[in-house]
Amino acid sequence: MAITRRERLADAAIDTLAREGLRGLTHRAVDRAAGVPEGSCSYYFRTRQALLAATVDRLAELDAAEIATLPVPSCRTEMDATGAVEALATMIERYVATGRTRMLARYELALEATRRGELRASLVAAGARFRVIAEGLLAAAGATEPARQAPIFVACLDGLIFDHLAGAGELELTPGELRAALLELLRAFASPGGRGD
């Protein structure tokens, strides 16, 4: 299915954010990145805030499509630890490889959101689906308080991705090391004493 002009512009905004940062995100830069006539971006997204909101919405839409392809359980579904770890590892590996541009754009937006309340609200809402997935994984792994633990668990996973893409820790995990670390993390949250805080 062909994407719409709005989606094309939002995709170009994501690429521009990842490549040039927030300073480089202008209507004109998005027009150039999308290969459309000058003025197209400002026609669809009149203000910078409208462009940022559209970018967050597009990121959420792309994430939802990708998440739909992953084998993740609902809160009521049992899943062995190996299956949960494999789902998490697959998601992380996608985000640091084919999803790298989206993650870098998301981090740029997250920093900007510290100064823009409306943008922060949009990012928090968009991230809700990850917390629901984490809750399902934790519940399936035997966690006693998955709803409370899920946001903390997601923050830990996000830290792994951030460190790989932009952190100073130089954390380079092999596929096996990543899966071992995720299994340790999942077990820590699911253990009787593992409150995840």
The 3-state secondary structure of 68-132, one letter per residue: CCCCCCCCCCCCCHHHHHHHHHHHHHHHHCCCHHHHHHHHHHHHHHCCCHHHHHHHHHHCHHHHH
Residue 7 pLDDT level (bands cut at 50, 70, 90): very high
Q: Per-residue pLDDT tens for 62-72?
A: 988 887 777 66
Q: Are 49 and 10 in contact (CB under 8 A)?
A: no
Counting Cα atoms < 13 Å in the Cβ hemisphere of 136 gives 20
pLDDT above 90: residue 149: yes
| Residue-range domain boundaries for the chain | 55-190
pTM confidence score? 0.85
Residue with tokens 């609902």: 74
- Quick one: tokens of 181? 């670390």
The predicted structure's pLDDT at residue 35: 96
What value does the CA radius of gyration of the chain take, rounded to a whole number of Å?
Answer: 18
- Collapsing DSSP to helix, strand or coil, 35 comes out as coil
**What integer pLDDT is reported at residue 5 of this predicted model?**
94
* 101-147 tens-digit pLDDT: 999 999 999 999 999 888 888 888 888 888 888 888 888 788 889 99
Q: What is the DSSP letter of 24?
A: G
Token digits of residue 192: 């009787």
Q: For the segment 57-101, what is each residue's pLDDT rounded down to a tens digit? A: 999 899 888 877 776 655 445 556 788 888 889 889 989 998 999
pLDDT average, residue stretch 21-44? 96
> How many degrees, rounded to 5, is the angle at CA 106 between CA 102 and CA 110?
175
CATH number of 55-190: 1.10.357
Instruction: Retrieve residue 113's tokens.
Output: 């959101």
What mean pLDDT is reported for the chain? 87
